[in-house]
Chains A and B, each alone.
Chain A
Amino acid sequence: MKGLTIDYATLLPALVPVAGLVLVLVADLVNPRLRQLPYAIAGVAALGAAVATVPGLALGGGSTRETFCLAGGTSTRGALPSVEGLPQRCLWQADALGSTLQLAAAVAAVVCIALAWPRTRRRRPDDSTREPVEAVLLLAALAGTVVVAASRDVGTWLVALELATLPVIALVALSGRRSAVAGATQLLVTSLVSFALLVLGVALWFAGTGSPFLTPDAALSSGGAFAAAPGTASVAISQASTPVVFPSVSGGVVALATVLIVAGVGFKLSLVPFHAWTPTAYAGSSVPVATFLATVSKVAALAALLVVLRAVAVLGTPAVLSIALLASLSMTLGNVMALRQDDVVRLLAWSTVAQAGWVVLPLVSISALGVGASATYLLTYVVATLVAFSVVAVTLRDRPGRGRSITDYDGLWQRSPWRAGALVLALTSLAGLPPGVIGLVGKITALRPVVAEGWVWLAVVAAVNAVLGVAVYLRWLRAVITERVPEAGPTAGGEDHAVAATTGRRPVVVAGLVLASAVLVVVSVQPDLLLRLLG
């Protein structure tokens, strides 16, 4: 394209996973019998992506690393005020917030790949393609997530979002179990509908603003869109009125676009009522894939949502009632349902629903404050959930078939204090209690915009849900720290013996747990670190 400049260094976070993806395929072509190689390549690629985001973290004061800029493309409406003198024509803009989300996605992906590490070193049979496929899908979804966080035009945004979604559906279905297929089906159906919503929203955005860019000045230009482009369908309505009505009509279109995009992304965030796939898909898929769904996918969804909302923020919309509604519904239903789960993966699935409510809670105030608070909460949630899932994965790796039920965690404190400690920290972080200080900080940060906007009823709903959440996580926690009820001697011994025989290799899985726990400990001890990352 004429006048398009490309800065490959800036694109590295996205390029590295893609390169890794290609490498996995090549390696599989060369030697298809190595089980661990695809994961090793994928892990290195995800780590590389994480490292590549680091230069973007230090950006402050609205500066960005951008590329794909359309040079010399002066706006047809040059008289409109540009926001803080930023170049308006770049398709890729990674600022501190975007880079942080990219980093979180990459780190979460590293942990997921570690958890998915194969059980055995044995060479796989020729007919099995599971490992390379899984690695490729994981990397593809990661690449989509990284791109969506930096995309600034509707095309890239939509494609990247789907790139982050579709591989996950395949990942869920990959195990081929009946429950996995059921979960994948539900995920697919819901994602199709929500994709339709997203496309509709984007189309409305284009209609309302006349700009394919998801940028603040595009949102600001919505007032003049119809005046500049007569002959569109909306004008038929507006022709009857005075010209003064134009801005309000197109403003309404932008509003509808925003709300539809919220609904479409809400599916990926598992907000009620778009949540129904969550427990089925989590329970049907393997634990690493569920972890990926709970962390990287959520990062992708929020990153996509934030791209749109930051563009809309410039309109000065004080608050959005529908987001408040979604947030309160999600929190309440998620917590209430999580209270009744005995399967820890299902519990975490419903906890995801509840936490998603917390994540979008600050967005009722569409402003820099709300966006920052939302990203902060998402990061605390991602880190804590990673640790919780890692503990589940390690436990399952230790004794396959045992570790899905809460009762399997009875007396974990006595059996393996380190793992129990990590779980305690993760659960208290999710509940927002010390010693999980970061969870508490996150909850306070999330509530601040709500209170600042004066949404008292929403703050009350959130507070009630904070209490309900404590009950949810303490249910699991109690099992961890209470003494195990001694089982009948001989059966327990025999079982343990059988379990020991099937115990898989676990150093890499444990390494994933250690990585996630280390991050959690660091941000718990020094929450300031996380808050500063997001400026």
Chain B
Amino acid sequence: MSWIVRMIVVLPALAALIGLLARRRRAVAAGVAVSVSAYVAVLGLIQWVAPSRSADIDTIGGLPLGDLSVPLHLLSDRVSGLVSFVVALVVLGIQVFTVWYLRDDARYGQFAATVSLFATGMLLLVQSGDLVLMLVGWEIMGWCSWLLIGHDSERAAARRAAYKAFLVTRVADIGMVVGIVALSVRARSTDLMAVLTATGDGTLLTVGLVGVVIGVAGKSGLVPFHDWLPDAMEGPTPASALIHAATMVAAGTYVIARLFTLYAENDTARTLLAVLAAVTMVYAALLALAQTDLKRMLAYSTLSQIAIMLSALAAAPAELGPGAGISHLLGHAFFKALLFLGAGWLSVLAGGTAIVALRGRLRPTGALRWSMGIGLAALAGVPPLVGFFTKDTVIDAALEGATGGGGLRAWLVVVALFVTVVLTAAYCTRAWLLLDTPVAATGELPDTAPAVVAEEDVAVVTTADSADDAEVERVHAHGHATITLSAALVVSVLAALTVVGTLFLASLRGGVHVGLLSALLSLLLLAGGAYAVWFLSDRGRVDVAERIPGRVREPAVRGFGVDTAYVAVGRAVTTVARLVVALDRDVVDAYPRGTAVVARAAGRAGERGHRGVPSLSLLSLLVGVVLVAVLGVTAWR
């Protein structure tokens, strides 16, 4: 069975290579991308249903690194089987959807190949039983995210967003690498089993776990690294779906879940994780409420949801295991993929992703309307959709942690979770009301003039602009193409999975575990939040976000100038670099340059001493003879 595990990793890589070679032939590229991802999904299903439960599947053989053991094994169990199945399923859906979505894009081949490579990275991370392989997968995703976000590379905003994502996650990856090194040094091995069972140096353990949390914070968009994710919406919508639903941002959850037994014993790292997650989930949910763009709203909701997964790992008691976090990861994968692909479909219909442009456009669209409704409801946590079960599993786990001696950390998470439930319900209701209420009902056409004009250097966000401008251009150039059956089917299947996805989680230990009291409480909060928005927006006639004072809302749309802070950090680094260059050039290099000056001066002096006069040369000869004779005889041994 171990070949299945290896194939799951290798096949997407091969697909990426072939896709890249055949990028000019659209049909071949699409065929390879879709068929391989379908095959990988089948393999994932097999691995889940009949897991081989092996922790020493060889890959390319161990690395000979002295007394550090680097076996590079793959690890297969039920969790990795389930996660890789869901990842493969989502990737398959996205590949099928992309064939339609990027129908007019000249660089479709590269995009599909990059998606395949991205899937390789995620699947390698999921299957790896070795910290080095984990890091490799992690970095492949980082690089691919740069490629995908910057797909429309002719647009400056897309390039900027790609670089921003890459640089921000790279900076956080410093923590990841330091953490992995610390953990490996402690265990004298990079093998996951050895790392988990190693005993000894507590400081190294803390450094390692905190480092990994920092790395995860970068890729998963925890405060203060969160701002790259909304900007990443500059990428094509399928890329956003891929990054948000099951891969990159969720990968951090998986890494921490794999190391959960270590985290359960280490309060420092867990407290850090709990604080970051709690702050992020509330803050991102608040910002989601204020957004003027559907995709950016979904991005902030992703931040919030990822923080919920991580909070489960931060607060759950040791004996419960990481099941709650993993199950929310999987549930979120379904409904977030659904929402993004639905948003992509809708944007093709409406010609943009700005909420102003999308108002009321959902009403006449049948299946899409249902799908989006299901997706938003699942996001808000309406039973019996998958979102309800996974979120309440997390709440229940956190409550158990809090009552079971988790202390302040777990209570912080619990409170944050309940606040987030209210806010999530609020922004989901707002989105639904805005998308679904016919424009005629609002009485007046929205003002199309941009309310927020972006400054130079700061994230380009306006109320009227779509995050994905290329999409607008595409629609303007080619008209509102009708969706193909397969793409529509993908959205519908994802909607169906969102409804029945809970069944998947039954096999997961601690996957679904809903407490009656907490479920009731969260349902009440949900209903309250939804009702408040419904009431405040006058049954959807006005945007509830309009009631937020402008001087709060404008900076909120821009992410409260975090981008400026990033730029300032970058400027500070380059200033230091310039200082070092100046020091190097003017102080250190002065000595080598000094030798050049001395050599030139000596040459000038020497020229003055050589005038081609025989007497001078005779003089020097005599002096030389005396000198040589005296020195030679006195120093003769």
Contacts and interface: CB of A to CB of B under 8 A. Distances in A.
Interface in A338-379: 339-340
Indicate the size class of the contact surface on chain B: 20 to 34
A185 B636 CA distance: 35
A530 interface: no
B632 A256 contact: yes
Contacts of B599: 335-336, 339, 468, 471
A262 B628 contact: yes
B617 A276 contact: yes
B106 interface: no
Interface in B606-637: 606-607, 610, 612, 614, 616-618, 620-625, 627-629, 631-633, 635-637
Interface in A21-73: none
A508 interface: no
Contact of B606 (A190, A318, A337): A337
Interface string B418-441: 000000000000000000000000
Contacts of B479: none
A120 interface: no
Contact of B624 (A274, A317, A339): A274
Contact of B604 (A182, A272, A317, A340): A340
B589 to A, nearest CB: 14
A215 to B, nearest CB: 20
Contact of B607 (A255, A272, A276, A337): A337
A322 B632 contact: yes
A259 B627 contact: no
A255 B621 contact: no
Query: Of A186, A273, A335, which is in contact with the most chain B CB atoms at under 10 Å from its CB?
Result: A273
Contacts of B600: 339-340
A280 interface: yes
A485 to B, nearest CB: 23
Interface string B13-29: 00000000000000000
B628 A267 contact: no
A187 to B, nearest CB: 10
B621 A320 contact: no
Contacts of B623: 273
A500 interface: no
Nearest to A185: B614
A186 B633 contact: no
Interface residues of A, number: 44
Contacts of A272: 624
B602 interface: yes
A389 to B, nearest CB: 21
A337 B607 CA distance: 7
A90 B607 CA distance: 47
Contacts of A194: 621
Contacts of B561: none
A326 interface: yes
B224 interface: no
A332 B598 CA distance: 12
A259 B632 contact: yes
A262 B636 CA distance: 14
A259 B603 contact: no
Interface in B577-602: 595-596, 599-600, 602
Contacts of B603: 336-337, 339-340
Interface string A257-272: 0111011001100001
Nearest to A317: B637
Given A182-B612, A185-B614, A273 B624 contact: yes
A518 interface: no
A166 to B, nearest CB: 17
A260 B618 contact: no
Given A185-B614, A197-B625, A336-B599, A258 B632 contact: yes
A350 B595 CA distance: 19
A512 interface: no
A340 B607 contact: yes
A304 to B, nearest CB: 16
Interface string B518-534: 00000000000000000
A251 interface: yes
A189 B614 contact: yes
B103 to A, nearest CB: 50
Given A185-B614, A273-B621, A276-B616, A255 B632 contact: yes
Contacts of A464: 595
B628 A259 contact: yes
A333 interface: yes
Interface in A163-182: 182
Contact of A189 (B606, B610, B617, B625): B617
Interface string A310-323: 00000001101110
- Nearest first, the 3 A-B pairs at minimum CB distance are A276-B617, A259-B632, A273-B624
11 contacts: A185-B614, A189-B617, A251-B636, A256-B629, A259-B632, A260-B628, A263-B625, A263-B629, A337-B610, A339-B600, A340-B604
Interface of A: 182, 185-186, 189-190, 193-194, 197, 251-252, 255-256, 258-260, 262-263, 266-267, 272-274, 276-277, 279-280, 317-318, 320-322, 325-326, 332-333, 335-337, 339-340, 464, 467-468, 471
Given A186-B614, A339-B600, 19 more contacts: A186-B612, A190-B614, A252-B636, A262-B628, A262-B632, A263-B625, A273-B627, A274-B621, A276-B616, A317-B637, A320-B635, A321-B631, A322-B629, A322-B632, A325-B627, A337-B606, A337-B607, A340-B607, A468-B599
